[in-house]
Amino acid sequence: MDSLICFSHLRWDFVWQRPQHLLSRLARDFKIYFVEEPITSTQAQEPFIETFPGAGSSNIEIVRLVQPSKEDYWIGHGNPQTQVTYNQLLSQFLQERAIKEPLIWFYTPMALDFLSLFPDYKLLIYDVMDQLAAFKGAPVELVDREKELLRRADIVLTGGLSLYRSKLPFNPETYLFPSGVEIEHFATAANQANVTRPAELEGLKGPILGYYGVIDERFDLELLRHLAQSRPDWTILLIGPVLKIDEADLPQSANLHYLGMHSYAELPSYLAFFDVALVPFALNEATQYLSPTKTLEYLAAGKPVVSTPINDIVELYGEVVKVAHTPAEFVSQVEAALAADPAVILPRAKEILSQATWDSIAEKIKGLFVQKINSLPLKS
């Protein structure tokens, strides 16, 4: 079994999204080493590599540097304080495992320094799931590192149309693989009888408008405030962690409920009680290339979806998603969604979903790997 070593800016046990969906399926054919950013420890006396199994497959092993520190703080890949140590310890780890000619997979260009550890890599893959340079707090050197990674990659995968169009000029081996969906997982939410009503929802009055996912600088807080104030008879649920923005800035209202992070396994139990599912993202630099996976998950549950005009949503799913350009229009579109017969869009939604399963996407990507490996010259 070939080894696949993935360098990620996301942690495996964080929100279950594209990396986990793809790699847990590819783990049927590859031994996956998922290399995370360092963590700090106030107990450790010296740096060391920590490993543990990754949920989703027995063929996934999480690898990360534990850095001694007097206090906890974030350390990204490529940090000059830890990168040399990480390289050294990871190199020892790889030698102990006798890993040869692995496939190398990047989710962040900031991990590019690790590539020097692999003179014999078989294939270099860059999976672009976000325009990371546009995110709040992005390192200034990320742009140059991405240009270098795009130049050197054997394959560039992109998670949406906008990303595909932006990366193709830098590498002709760029392929569009929009994010997918586990239809069966979310289809249970189409019928409330299939799930147990979460205790947090007891006593809440409908209609219920819901969102799940990360709440960060991409979120349109003013839209959320307008929605809550305009229709106090609506209950609005927001499920997910708050990152990179101050929680004090979140709108507060009696009909707004922030439920925090819940696991991927729990999501259908909440989604089942959404009367309308929301994609309330702002239109800014961080969302210009966004292609939200949750759109397909909402549709798999048979829920009407209302979104702001995110480019990929409009282009890929505009037939089955109601799109609103202003806060007032968003309220009107939610009203229309509540009054609409979901059966009208259901056939087209099912057709879209059938072409976007994670299983089929992973199989196509694996086929692309085999094709590229067979066509590439041996690396010196």
pLDDT digits 0-9 by tens, 219-237: 999 999 999 999 999 999 9
DSSP 357: B
Mean pLDDT (the chain) is 95
Q: Which residue has the tokens 């399963």?
A: 357
Query: 235 lies in which domain range?
Result: 183-354
Are 158 and 201 members of one domain? no
Residue 195 has, within 13 A of its CA and on its CB side, a CA count of 23
Quote the CA–CA distance of 230 and 326 in Å, as a whole number. 13
For 119-144, what is each residue's pLDDT tens digit?
Answer: 999 999 999 998 888 888 888 899 99
Are 134 and 12 members of one domain? yes
Mean per-residue pLDDT for 42-63? 96
Are 347 and 364 members of one domain? no
Q: Which residue has the tokens 């990480």?
A: 86
Domain-located, residue 24: yes
How many whole angstroms from its chain centre is CA 269? 20
Are 100 and 230 members of one domain? no
Query: What's the pLDDT at 173?
Result: 97
**Using an 8 Å Cβ cutoff, are 304 and 231 in contact?**
no
Domain-located, residue 95: yes
Are 162 and 203 members of one domain? no
Domain-located, residue 290: yes
Q: Please, what sign has the CA dihedral across residues 194, 195, 197, 200?
A: negative
Cα angle at 188 between 182 and 193, to 5 degrees? 175
Does residue 378 surpass a pLDDT of 70? no
**Using an 8 Å Cβ cutoff, are 159 and 127 in contact?**
yes
Mean per-residue pLDDT for 318-329? 97
Query: What's the pLDDT at 365?
Result: 97
Query: What's the pLDDT at 132?
Result: 87
Query: What's the pLDDT at 380?
Result: 47
Quote the CA–CA distance of 183 and 166 in Å, as a whole number. 29
Domain-located, residue 312: yes
Are 281 and 150 members of one domain? no
Does residue 24 surpass a pLDDT of 90? yes
Quote the CA–CA distance of 134 and 2 in Å, as a whole number. 34
Q: Residue 3: enclosing H or E segment and its boundaries?
A: strand 2-7
For 35-46, what is each residue's pLDDT tens digit?
Answer: 999 999 999 999
User: How many domains would you assign to the chain?
Assistant: 2
Are 252 and 329 members of one domain? yes
Quote the CA–CA distance of 321 and 356 in Å, as a whole number. 16
Helix residue ranges, H only, the chain: 18-26, 83-96, 142-152, 161-167, 183-187, 221-230, 267-271, 294-300, 311-317, 327-339, 346-354, 358-375
Are 323 and 287 members of one domain? yes
Are 22 and 94 members of one domain? yes
Helix residue ranges, H only, 17-114: 18-26, 83-96
Are 157 and 8 members of one domain? yes
Domain with residue 103: its CATH number is 3.40.50.2000
How many whole angstroms from its chain centre is CA 158? 12
Are 41 and 121 members of one domain? yes
Domain-located, residue 380: no
Mapping DSSP to helix (H, G, I), strand (E, B) and coil, where does residue 219 land?
Answer: strand
Are 200 and 84 members of one domain? no
Does 110 or 346 have the greater pLDDT score?
110
For 180-225, what is each residue's pLDDT tens digit?
Answer: 999 999 999 999 999 999 999 999 988 999 999 999 999 999 999 9
Domain-located, residue 224: yes
Report the percentage of the chain scoring pLDDT > 90.
91
pTM given for the model: 0.88
Quote the CA–CA distance of 108 and 146 in Å, as a whole number. 8
Mean per-residue pLDDT for 61-88? 96
